[in-house]
Structures are given as structure tokens and as C-alpha cells.
Chains A and B, each alone.
Chain A
Amino acid sequence: MFRALLLTGLFTGLAGWSASASAETISEFTLDNGLEVVVIEDNRAPVVVHMLWYRVGAADETPGTSGIAHYLEHLLFKGTETLEPGEFSQIVEANGGSDNAFTAWDYTGYFQRVAADRLGLMMEMEADRMINLQLTEEVVAPELLVVLEERKQRVDANPDALFGEQARAAQFMNHPYGRPIIGWPQEVRELTLDDALEFYETYYAPNNAILIVAGDTTPEEVRALAEEHYGPIPPSETLPERVRVTEPPQLAERRIVFEDPRVAQPYLRRTYLAPERDAGAQEEAAALTMLAALLGDDPATSYLGQKLQFDSQTAIYTGAGYSGVALDDTTFGIVVVPAVGVSLAEAEAALDETLAAFLEEGVDSEQFERLKRQIYASEIFARDSTRGLAQRYGAALTSGLTVADVQAWPDLLQAVSEEDVIAAATDVLDKRHAVTGWVRPPSDTAAALSAETPTEEVTQ
């Protein structure tokens, strides 16, 4: 069976199993200026991943300037008082390393992967651009065009991504999770150098950042280098408290019919508002994680897959996804791709019946044990990727969790009971808190497309 054969990216941002490395390889400490540091030791290869995470993302933007967190992330590569535009990456590459950055709703991160003996140089440069960014109109203007092209490539050229944006905006009526990370196009076009600098000066400070170093190093080495390079940077005295508007009670089901001629395969996706992992209180999130796996992990063994793909041929693909790593309430998602000849309405009716039957029947004990064995194994497989571990800690710590929460997570998953799963499912699978989207081609082009052979697309 081809996993993720279809519609890969529908659950972008919803990670799979979480698992932590064994506790003894993780250390944490905080510098006097408030910079938190996490060290993950893995001495199998002479390589380190150096990551600096800021506790700021798209959900922290001022309304009207959507996309500024991401635009600023691009601009961090455009020079400092001592580095020319682009020179940061050139120096990383000249040292055999690779570097990049990413922006999400709750965080912005910068990372380099280099030989272990280049760690000090990476810290020196990353600390430099935390305070010494120097931007000119000449370099920031073409970069705004780059961001607009990125938006076209990621979103406008991709009907699944366009639908995802619309569905999110419908899901979060008040909370900033409803705005796209890359920004709404009409607002991105108007972003200015001043917007970027204001955001930079407000949020980029050691007491709003987390340093993660993973790989062939020691806590002692990291501490010495971090004191040297990040230590002298004063903390911000004006860092705003991280408080966001909350969702009003969601009382009514929302539905979207998204039509685009580029949709080749109609599908439905429903997302329910769901609680996130909270520091010291991750139990419901753990139950929801198990629920997602039981409902829609592997089609041959999951409940939706068995009912809709095996016992009946209603769907050609089913899936469920949930990731609890978020600062505020998140979503629990389900996707059904109907088989040929099955309408979206029929597929949705079958989904609703199947979910009701699941709540009625309860959890299949044998499958539940199987999942727990897989979680145990996935913890070990996860330790094979230092980059993945660093990512896990960075995302968690910028989303309100602690190192202890991350380390407790695998055991919390093992401790989830069948009753916990049903309780969480009953609580969350409530259509009044959900957005159900139908994605399909416009009805007139559907007929035209099906009459067309693929080779007719090809150049004259």
C-alpha cells in the first residue's frame, strides 16, 4: 500500500508520534540574560545542529501586518553591521554546513548543521544577527518579491493549500491562528522595512529565545560558547507579555465548499477545535494523539480505514491527524477521499456513521496494544535523528511546554486508557466546533476534465 499516496501535505504541521530521547542525554540551563539552552548529546557522528528559536510567530503579529514574522525571517539573512547580505549563508557553506530558517504560528527558528568544531562560529554569527541586523531598502525590496513568489508557489499554485487557508480562517473566528503564516497577499504586498524592524526590535532578544544544540558536543562546551557569544547581549526590558485573544464559544457548525478547476480528486476534510498540550497537563492531548492513530493511522488497521476502505469501498484514502504542540487551542483533523462514484455527501454521511459507531463500540483492545508497541519503537527510531529531536524540543519549548513535559510525553501516551480515548473523542468530535470542507472541481469543469485524456495537456 502506498502511504501518503494522495494529498500529502493535508496535515502539514501535524506531526506524527512524539517521543523523547532518554533523559540522561538532555541538559538544560539558562544564561543570566534569560536565554534558555537545551543540549542533546549524540556522539555517533562529528556533527552538530545549532538552532535558535524565538518565542514569536505569525500568531503574534499585529492585525493588518500578516506575514511580517515570516518576512523578517527572510530578512535575517540580509546582513548585519559586519556581514554583507547573503554572507551568513556563504560562511556556513564555506564551512561545509547547511543553514535555513522557518516560521510557524508560535515560533521562528534558525538553524545550521555543521561539523562539531564549527559550533562557536555559528553561535558568533547567530548572536550577531540577534542584535546587529542592518537592512536597506535596496535589499529588502527584492526579498518582498521573493516572499510573494513563495506564496504563489506554496499556496496560490496549490488548491489544497488555498482550501486549507480558507478552512483555518473559518475555524478560528477570533484567534490569530486563523491567519496564514505567510500572510494574506494584500497585506504581504504592503509590508515595509519599518514593519520588519519594529517586529525585530520588539521580539528578538535573548530572554525571548531558546538555544538548542544537538549532536557531538557536551553541556560544558555549549555553556562556555553560549556565555561567550550570546551572554553579552542584554535582555529586552520591553518584551510584551505573550497574551492572545481567545476564541469565543463555537456554537455552530461551519461548512465550506471549495471549488477549483485544478482539483483532480475531490475530498472532504473536517477539523475540530481541540485542546493543545499544556505544561503539566498533557493527558487529554495524549488521548487525542491515540485517538488520531486509532481512527486514521494506517488504513489497513485503523478504524476509518477498515470501515471505509476495507469493509466498504467508500473511500480510497482516509486519515486522521492531531498534533498537540501549540500555544493555544489547535485542531483535530479527518480526511476522506471518496472512491469513484461516491459523492462527497455520501462520503460524509458514511464518515459520520463510522465515527458514531466508533464511539458506540469503544476501542479495539488488540489494536490499542499494537499502537502502544509502535509508540515504544518509534521512540527508539526517533533517536536516530538529532535534527528531529532538536526540532521537537524547540517546538515544544516555544509552545509553552518544558523539557520535563517533552520527556514525560511517551509515558503519558502509554498511560492512556481506552476510556480516556472515548472521553476525549466524545468531547472533541462535536460538529459545533468543526469546519467541514468539501474540495472539488467546479461542476462544469468536472465533466470537461473527465472527458480529457492526460496527453492532451502536452505541448503542441
Chain B
Amino acid sequence: MVKLLALSNPFFSFFATQYMETISRQVVEPVSDETLIQQFKDGAPSAFDELYFRHLPHVYKRVRYVVPETDVEDVTQEVFIAALHSLKGFRGESQFSTWLRTLTNHKVAEFYRKRTRKREPQTEALSEVSGRAIGETSDRLEERIVLQNALQSLPERYREVILMRLAEDLQFNEIAEITQQNLEAVKSLFRRALTALRDHLKETP
């Protein structure tokens, strides 16, 4: 309709082009996290749902690398509950994804703190219950537990670079941008992190 009018009236064509560009921009460009956060702050709870759908897969994958399979969903939901409660205080000094990553790390640390307090055995329940729950071989689950423990024992910056690259599937240049380091430094950090992990795994029987 707009196109027809634009063809028939040259005066109208300029406005029609502008209109079409605006429409296509709206279709192509998704609403930014910042806009959604502002909408949420202005009283639109559905904006948080959009943030949830957008970021859940990344958070889930990240949590999966460091938390036993049976607790992954619970810890992930904890992250979003915490985000829901504190989003109004989010000042936008960092990107939402960075903020969420920090929140995830806190929740994972909290999970391990609680577990230590409860003095739950590390491996026994995990391999059996998780195996039944998701139908995976116990060997693979045992391997996952060994790796999760090794990852947890690494210094935070080492763990962080491994999680960003492997769990979140971020490219090295993206990691460099997020951590505000140069590309070479990130690649070097990644090698040192893997070296530390390898050495830790060697020591683990």
C-alpha cells in the first residue's frame, strides 16, 4: 500500500521511504537489553520475560559447567530470581550480560557454600541421581564431576576465561572486549588456564 502510494506520488515517496526504513529497522533490530530494562523499571513486567528468554540459554550453559546436573535448573532459576529482585537497582554501568554473569558467579558460589555447610558427599549422590534423571552414562557423569571440581579449584580469572570460551561459546575477541584486555593477553590467559586445569587433573586420581 505504502509502496503503491510512493510510486504514484513523488512527493509522498520521500516519507514513504523513511517509513519503510523505520519499519524494517524495527523488524530487523531486536529491542536492546537496555530498552527492556527501562521498560521493566517503568512497570512492564513482561520486559523481564523477554530478558529471561534471551539470556537463559547462556546462563544455563554456564551453570552446567560448574554445577551438578541435578542442580543446574535450580541454580539457574536462582540467578533470574535474584536478577528480578535487583534489576530496579541496576544502573547500567556495565552490560546486562556482564551483570548477569557476575550474579551467576555469586549464585554458584552460594550453592557451593550451602553444600559445604550441609556437608553433602561430593560424588556419591550426584552420579546416581543425575544419571537416572537425565539418562546419561555414569562414566560421563563421573567425568563431568571430576572436571567441575577441577574447574572450581582454579583461580577465578582462569575459570572465567574457560567458561566464557567453552560454556558461553564467546570468541576470543569478544572475551577481550568484555574483560577489557587485548586479544593476545586473552589467548595467553586461556593457555595458562588450561595448563592449570591439566595440571590439576593430573594430580587428581
Are A and B interaction partners?
no
